Structure 1
Amino acid sequence: MAGHSKFANIRHKKEKADAKKGKIFTKLGREIAVAVKEGGPDPANNSKLRDAIAKAKSNNMPNDTIERSIKKAAGDISGVNYEPMTYEGYGPNGVAIIVEVLTDNKNRTAANVRHAFSKGGGNLGTTGCVSFMFDKKGQIMVEKNDKIDEDELMMLALDAGAEDFITEEEGYEIITSPENFSAVREAIENQGINMISAEVAMIPQTTTKLTDEQDIKKMKTLLNLLEDDDDVQEVYHNWEFDEEV
């Protein structure tokens, strides 16, 4: 995927998130709650919670909202249990799609995801049908600015355990193994460097372009339906998103 496309995709995602802050914060809160239930409410002793907090901050979730989410989850250990599930399928023209959810009602979620694929001209597949086309990696995106020295950032990231450092037109992409993601993210955060995105993600090995207007329209419908679903946490795909589209 072209570097321009990666930053355009993140910017587009953030613009949509800004328009639906309440929904996005609800999803992030759910992720925080799962992390608290698994490892406790103290971020110092819970790396999954630290990562969830970092993701929340990169999505402009206020600190007091994050704190409330942690306290609510810590005081509600016997409350709703969310189960992680993953769906895989195809969008228009064979675009590969992975949908990660946290749900308290598997039947409802499965029906909603199936409906989204159907309305978007795609179809759900079996487990593993597209995941082999993606790599699970820590991905940190940092926009260029005058205060960031490229060489210093690269050495900082590599010394902390990053696998790759990619310089793009608009910024830097830092790739880590899932196991080293927290250490690299924290090393960058401790230097006061702002990250526009920091998460363990499914990164496509190759991308697919859509040139037919109807295919593009259907793909947008599919993604919008999935992203509007409260149970859906993340949607990964290998559509080469064009900022002009």
Structure 2
Amino acid sequence: MAGHSKWANIKHRKGAMDAKRGKIFTRLIKEIMVAARLGGGDIDGNPRLRTAVAAAKAENMPKDNIERAIKKGTGELEGVAYEEITYEGYGPGGVAVMVECMTDNRVRTVADVRFMFSKAGGNLGESNCVSWMFDRKGQILVEREATSEDELMEAALEAGAEDVVVEESTFQVLTEPDDFAAVSEALQAKGIAFLEASIAMIPKNTVEVGDEQTARQLMKLLDSLEDNDDVQHVHANFDIPDAVMEAIS
């Protein structure tokens, strides 16, 4: 099972996704603002904005919030100008980690990220040191109780999805980034609820972390990164066996 989807499943069972709803909205608003600033406020003419709005709708963000974020991005309303930065490094167990940030203070952000890596026994690396280990994909996670495999497979592939991966407790729908909005909208139109929907860096290969202590250190690093206000997304190529993941969760 891919590390990112397993991690999302564990967080959901712990209730962390609901507890962090406000933080999720903040990150989505930042992405919408930046997309609108860089490519304009026309959703049909701005693929990145369309993708960002689709992700926001997948999280049930109110329409008014989305429209305000677009206007802040285009300058119609006052808003903060965020800078995009991606940091790469290695966490406990040699796991490759990518940290996508949006910040109004680069110095603060890099200091925070470097400290979190160091505290966990990892280290930041140079640009592109691990990005080659990942493919950028649209990822939609659906709980298996939410729909049947046949219904999801038919709807997803018909809308342009690349693949539907059947996992222990979820279905993982993968798309090209440009097809993410169309696929997520098609599944929503079918009434299929999402556990998570985003543009993610999917690892080409994974590193198994079978030691409980190392796995616990890794989870602490990933959680601390996700809790940082400047961090948008965290991607890692770990694969922790189910028994170990359950023991540390």
Q: Shorter-chain TM-score category?
A: 0.7 to 0.9
Q: In the TM superposition, what are the counterparts of 1:156-195 in structure 2 within 5 Å?
A: 156-195=155-194
Report how far residue 163 of structure 1 moved. Answer: 1.8
- Tell me if the contact between 1:89 and 1:126 (Cα under 8 Å) persists in the aligned partners: yes
Deviation digits for residues 4-42 of structure 1 (CA, Å, limit 9, x no counterpart): x66542133443242233333222211121122233344
- Tell me if the contact between 1:37 and 1:77 (Cα under 8 Å) persists in the aligned partners: no
Opposite residue 164 of structure 1, the aligned amino acid is: D
Q: Does 90-99 or 157-166 show the bigger shift?
A: 157-166
Aligned to 1:221: 220
Aligned to 2:202: 203
Q: Does 1:212 align with 2:215?
A: no
**SS in structure 2 of the partner of residue 233 of structure 1:** strand
Stretches of structure 1 lacking an aligned partner (at least 5 in a row): none
Deviation digits for residues 37-89 of structure 1 (CA, Å, limit 9, x no counterpart): 23334434443233223323444544444344334444556743212111110
Q: Does 1:10 align with 2:13?
A: no
Distance 2:80 2:38 in 1: 13
Aligned to 1:133: 133
Aligned to 1:50: 50
Report how far residue 214 of structure 1 moved. Answer: 3.4
Report how far residue 228 of structure 1 moved. Answer: 1.8
Opposite residue 98 of structure 1, the aligned amino acid is: M
**SS in structure 2 of the partner of residue 80 of structure 1:** coil
Aligned to 1:80: 80
Aligned to 2:235: 236
What is the aligned-residue identity percentage? Answer: 52
Distance 1:110 1:36 in 2: 25
Would the alpha carbon gap of residues 145 and 222 (structure 1) be closer, same or farther in structure 2, given more than 3 Å must change? closer
**SS in structure 1 of the partner of residue 239 of structure 2:** coil
Deviation digits for residues 211-244 of structure 1 (CA, Å, limit 9, x no counterpart): 3343233223322221121111000011224243
Q: In the TM superposition, what are the counterparts of 1:144-159 in structure 2 within 5 Å?
A: 144-145=144-145, 148-159=147-158
Distance 1:13 1:56 in 2: 19
**SS in structure 2 of the partner of residue 234 of structure 1:** strand
Aligned length: 242
Report how far residue 141 of structure 1 moved. Answer: 1.8
**SS in structure 2 of the partner of residue 156 of structure 1:** helix
Q: Does 42-51 or 105-114 show the bigger shift?
A: 42-51
- Tell me if the contact between 2:36 and 2:70 (Cα under 8 Å) persists in the aligned partners: yes
Stretches of structure 2 lacking an aligned partner (at least 5 in a row): none
- TM-score scaled by structure 1? 0.85
Deviation digits for residues 84-138 of structure 1 (CA, Å, limit 9, x no counterpart): 1111100012011000011222111111111111111100011121112111111
